[in-house]
Amino acid sequence: MVGQINVLMALQDVGPGDGPTVLVPGSHKSTEIHPRLEQDGKG
């Protein structure tokens, strides 16, 4: 048996008006720089 645990830790309060949480499989392997990081000069 292979077990898996998924955890979502909100770093800020999340309310109903914030919309749904979207999990994109494989997105952690992306080589693209996040636009906000690029804009802040941290990318």
Separation in Å, CA 37 to CA 24, 26, 31, 43: 19, 19, 13, 5
pLDDT for 43 beyond 70:
no
In angstroms, the CA 28 to CA 19 distance is: 21
pLDDT for 2 beyond 60:
yes
The pLDDT tens digits for 6-37 are 788 888 888 889 888 887 888 778 788 777 77
Tell me, what's the pLDDT at 1?
Answer: 65
Of the pLDDT bands very low, low, confident and very high (cuts 50, 70, 90), residue 42 is: low
C-alpha torsion angle, residues 32, 38, 41, 43 (rounded to 10): -10
